[in-house]
Amino acid sequence: MRNPSGSGGLLLVLAVVLGLIGCAQPKQEMPGMAESLPRPKIRIPKEAVIVSHVPPRSVESVPPPPSMLPMPELPAPVIPLPEPSIAAPPPVFELGAWHVDIQATCFDLSDSRRPRTAWNSIDPLKENPFHIALPFNDHVPGCEEYGPCKNRWVEVLNVDTGQRAFAQWEDVGPWFANDAEYVFDETGTVRPHAEVHEGKRLNIFRSTKGTHQRPIRRIKNSAGIDLSPDLCEILNINGQGLVDWRFVEEDYVPEGPWKLRVSTRP
């Protein structure tokens, strides 16, 4: 008698082997089913994808875009300044030489009974009250080349105080009328005749006609210029004193009391 359990066990083993062989073979799809059924699309969020084999790039190593690069420091623009206006050069005045340490005396033409100057037709009281006299007369024959003399401007300086003033030449004196070497000296070194001949008795040339000479007179002082009372007052000279003087042009003369009444008559 066979053992029924032995044949059953064999059958069971055979069934298991066949089942395993069937599972290993690929399943054959039925014709027409693959084309008719669409495959489902599976969307995976990008945040869930981690590429572990790409090393993360450092933020510092990423170069910034050109628009974010710092601009190079440029020098400040040079703004040209406007050209300075070229002022007209100061006028050049013809100034005479200084005659220094000249004895001056004060004289008042109003004391005369008939006030006159060396230019006899001129009333001195109608002229500039700031005036002087110098020992030269351009109306004397032979002296015309130095004229005209009347109304010329001079600058006078008080040697002791430094005070200065301006005046016009309106008379002739003291003592002489032809001392051209001193009056028109361009170096200021020639001394007045009166200073050289002080105390002497001389025939003093004074006439405007011919070669007439006045009687002999003694030169009482060494004065080389006479000053009007107004000029003496503004210079603080009482009677006589030492001054420096020189010729100046009218445009050089500043405003002052000496311009309140300017002499213009020849």
Model-level pTM greater than 0.95?
Answer: no
Alpha helices in 2-101 (DSSP H): 4-24, 33-36
Least confident of 1-15, 135-149, 199-213: 1-15
* Residue 213 in this model has a pLDDT that exceeds 60: no
The CA distances from residue 41 to 33, 36, 38, 44, in Å, are 18, 16, 9, 10
Least confident of 7-11, 108-112, 150-154: 7-11
User: Contact at 8 Å (CB) between 265 and 170?
Assistant: no
Alpha helices in the chain (DSSP H): 4-24, 33-36, 180-183, 193-196, 229-235
- Round to whole Å and give the CA distance between 129 and 108: 10
pLDDT score recorded for residue 202:
81
* Residue 168 in this model has a pLDDT that exceeds 70: yes
pLDDT score recorded for residue 164:
96
Average pLDDT of the residues in 29-43? 56
Average pLDDT of the residues in 151-171? 96
One CATH from 3.90.1150.10, 3.30.420.40, 2.70.70.10, 2.40.40.10 for 102-109+129-253:
2.40.40.10
pLDDT score recorded for residue 221:
93
Q: Locate 41 and state its tokens.
A: 């699309």
pLDDT score recorded for residue 216:
76
pLDDT score recorded for residue 125:
75
Average pLDDT of the residues in 18-45? 56
- Say whether 22 sits in a helix, a strand or coil: helix
pLDDT digits (tens, 9 = 90+) for 118-160: 776 667 778 899 999 999 988 777 777 776 898 999 999 999 9
Better pLDDT: 120 or 94: 94
CB-CB neighbours of 253 under 10 Å: 18
* Residue 210 in this model has a pLDDT that exceeds 50: no
User: Contact at 8 Å (CB) between 168 and 231?
Assistant: no
Q: Locate 144 and state its tokens.
A: 């015309």
Per-residue pLDDT band for 20 (boundaries 50, 70, 90) equals low
pLDDT score recorded for residue 121:
64
Please, what is the average pLDDT of the chain? 77
pLDDT score recorded for residue 151:
92
* Residue 219 in this model has a pLDDT that exceeds 50: yes
Better pLDDT: 184 or 94: 184
pLDDT score recorded for residue 145:
78
- Round to whole Å and give the CA distance between 29 and 113: 165
- Round to whole Å and give the CA distance between 68 and 261: 82
What residues are paired with 105 via a beta bridge?
Answer: 226, 240
Please state the φ and ψ torsions of residue 19, each to the nearest 5 degrees: -65, -35
Specify the length of the chain in residues: 266
pLDDT digits (tens, 9 = 90+) for 223-242: 999 999 999 999 999 999 99
The CA R_g of the chain, rounded to the nearest whole Å, is: 63
| 22-40: b (≥16 Cβ within 10 Å) or e | eeeeeeeeeeeeeeeeeee
